[in-house]
Amino acid sequence: MLEKGVDRCSKWDNEMIRMKRKGKKTIGERDPLEGWVPLENPEGASGQLRDAPAVRLGWGGWDHVGTSGAAQLIPKLKAGLPLRELESLREGLDVPMDRLAVLLGISRATLHRRKESGRLDSLESDRVVRFARLLHRAAEVFESLSNARLWLSAPQQGLGGEVPLEYAGTEVGAREVEDLLGRIEFGVYS
């Protein structure tokens, strides 16, 4: 038997898949009493996100997350991203900095040192980009930043009941989350 929260999310995912198969653009909202309730996208088939992602990282935003911008992004990651990129990600995910630091594997003491220096190291920068990539991908699939946040923070049946943000602590886990988002987007049952 699945946990109640997992069951609600999987029902919503399945409804999203059915609606996408019918060619409908959808957004979803969570009703505290009824669970996930899919709604019609008020902007029709324009393809625009209702809430455009707030995270626009200073290193060029989402264009660098794909392979075309990798050559430009790699040197910036090696040098370490400015701390404001971590704050930008925190705002995009709408999570407390303490929780984000744990998700990124940054201790309190290290976070304090980074605040003093104003720069992340290369591994931390890489993790920030990983989570930003997932947030952006989820916002594309669920057509709003608020829906992406909800999905990334709730247990998902396709990940064995794990929360995507926690599952993405490793690159392998992040790729699994991306794969699940792709299956949801294209209506592949999982």
Predicted structure pTM score? 0.67
Q: What is the pLDDT of residues 68-102, one digit of tens each?
A: 578 888 999 999 999 999 999 999 999 999 999 99
d(CA 189, CA 80): 39
Higher pLDDT, 16 or 186: 186
Q: What are the phi and psi torsion angles at 26 (to 5°)?
A: -130, 155
The alpha carbon of residue 33 and the mean position of all alpha carbons in its chain are separated, in whole angstroms, by: 25
Bridge partners (DSSP) of residue 162 are 156
Q: How confident is the model at residue 2 (pLDDT cuts 50, 70, 90)?
A: very low
Neighbours of 45 (CB within 10 A): 9
d(CA 112, CA 171): 25
Per-residue pLDDT of 17-46, as tens digits, reads: 555 555 544 444 433 333 333 344 334 433
Indicate if the pLDDT at residue 65 is higher than 70: no
| Residue 155 · residue 9 · CB < 8 Å | yes
Domain residue spans of the chain: 49-186
For 126-172, write each residue's pLDDT tens digit: 999 999 999 999 999 999 999 999 999 999 999 999 999 999 999 99
Query: For residues 95 and 51, which has the higher predicted lDDT (pLDDT)?
Result: 95
**What gap in Å lies between CA 43 and CA 27, rounded to an integer?**
10
